[in-house]
Structure 1
């Protein structure tokens, strides 16, 4: 009677019968467990798992010992089998194992297999080419671009028409920004296979990137040339006006990045624009104006800075701070002071040869003092102290 003719109950009874026949029943003097399991009876779960891990089929991590300091003979026997056969057979076996690992995206494992296959040094060029090419593919995935390039070079030295090596080397060269080499290898690849879409796609990216870099280079070059031209016009405009610029040993923070510019950067005759420090030495205060034209007068500057809330003027120290009651002074090249008329333009004072009033740190420095206190302030002015604050 076949298994198909048995009822479910009959089949169940037959399986139990078979189990009873095979079940281990200890005889008098035999161990309670089968010999294969008796030695594990008193061991912990952890110890049992360690024992199983020494069996290659159950290994979750490499264990090269026998558990007592000796070699794992089963593992060594399997290792010997791996290298059993002709060189091309061994290399092919490693290649196939590498391919399986590659399909599972285990790229590092795949590289190990391909490398072992190459170490066999078989004489079959097609096998060696495949091992190198596949290892290059793994290194490309792992972003080991230089290793990928080296393997691709070796492939092409064996098979100069290997389009995959051209493609992978092109991608790797592109990734490490070696665009000329990428273009060369990809263009070479298209001489081998003119219709290869993958190679064309990477080549298009390389050419586009090179074009972008060249455009950026030309733009930067134009900007630099323009900057030089503007600076040249500015320098000449300052010389033509006979302006002097003095640097302080410790310039005010607000003037560290101060720049003079022309109202029209291409016209040396247009108005010069610069920042201005308005100093009130009798109250130890100051105002900063980011941009003032050279044709501006001290009067216009005072009207600008004195446009303040009424509460500011109610402070006793600002009692005489009105346009009519204030005087303006500029420091001279020799460290002294000159009084500046409030209605004349700043450029008149800057162009005057004697006494010469310079710009300081690319900006205007204007001292503003109440008439009632000017004599006292002037008497305390020290040329030596003024000169000591300048950059030597």
Structure 2
């Protein structure tokens, strides 16, 4: 289309239940060429998407939040020279992975959430939010050894953390039941 040109648009089959409108192209504005963006521009844009994603998550809109976090992390991953901004890059990358994992927990996608949280904890072993979230993901995946280890890590930093205590209790009880079931199974094998 050229400036000033009009185009009729019809949505639907054109007979029943359709929407039609006329679109006129008023102006063409040249945008910024993404290939010419500097790494600092990308970091600023990623931070903007992260902030919007955080606001959307607070509004109980995890799907929209996830899409914003995903846009932000793609900007961060494809920096030209992440080594130049290593500290900022790590902080932003781990924060975005942590936020994306929170969304995945809302979707009950525990395996993907755990993978994202593993990335966070590979960089920051004492990230309490990531540890608590991985406790939940691991418990849902019935990985009670991992749940217990993460709960103990949370409680080592914050001894009165309610989430850490909750998942420690869940893991201890589940491991106890697993051991009882295992012993019963072994007994049946040799009787």
Q: Do they fold alike, i.e. is TM over 0.5? A: yes
* Mapped partners of 2:123, 2:100: distance in 1: 15
Q: What does 1:1-392 align with in structure 2 at a 5 Å threshold?
A: 46-48=19-21, 51=23, 77=31, 86-121=41-76, 123=85, 124=88, 125-225=90-190, 228=191
Quote the residue 1:272 is aligned against. none
In structure 2, C-alpha distance between the alignment counterparts of 1:199 and 1:134, rounded to whole Å: 19
Match of 2:82 in 1: none
Aligned 8 A contact 2:126 2:153 in 1: no
CA offset digits 1:49-79 (Å, max 9, x no partner): x749xxxxxxxxxxxxx7xxxxx957x8499
Tell me, yes or no, if the aligned pair for 2:132 and 2:164 is still in contact at 8 Å. Answer: yes
Query: What residue is the counterpart of 1:257 in the other structure?
Result: none
Where does structure 2 lack aligned partners over 5 or more consecutive residues? 80-84
Listed one character per residue, the Cα deviations across residues 13-41 of structure 1 (whole Å, up to 9, x for unaligned) are xxxxxxxxxxxxxxxxxxxxxxx9xx79x
Which residue in the other structure is 1:283 paired with?
Answer: none
TM-score when scaled to structure 1?
0.37
Structure-2 separation of matches of 1:78 and 1:187: 49
Q: 1:150, CA displacement in angstroms?
A: 1.7
TM-score, structure 2 normalization? 0.71
**Aligned partners of 2:131 and 2:150 also within 8 Å:** yes
Q: Cα deviations across residues 349-374 of structure 1 (Å, max 9, x unaligned)? A: xxxxxxxxxxxxxxxxxxxxxxxxxx
CA distance in 1, matches of 2:147, 2:175: 11
**Cα drift, residue 112 of structure 1:** 2.1
Distance in 1 (alpha carbons) for counterparts of 2:166 and 2:179: 20
Structure 1 or 2, whichever has the larger Rg, is 1
Q: Secondary structure at the match of 1:120?
A: helix
Per the alignment, in what secondary structure is the counterpart of residue 47 of structure 1?
Answer: strand
CA deviation map 1:134-172 (0-9, x unaligned): 111111111222221121122122222211111111111
- CA shift for structure 1 position 100: 2.5
Q: 2:73–2:93: 8 Å Cα contact kept in structure 1?
A: yes
In 2 relative to 1, CA 79–139 (structure 1 residues): closer, same or farther, beyond 3 Å?
farther
Describe the shift of the 1:79–1:150 C-alpha distance in structure 2 as closer, same or farther (beyond 3 A): farther
Task: Return the structure number with greater relative CO, CA threshold 8 A, min gap 6.
Answer: 2
User: What CA distance in whole angstroms lies between the structure 2 residues aligned with 1:129 and 1:223?
Assistant: 48
Aligned length: 165
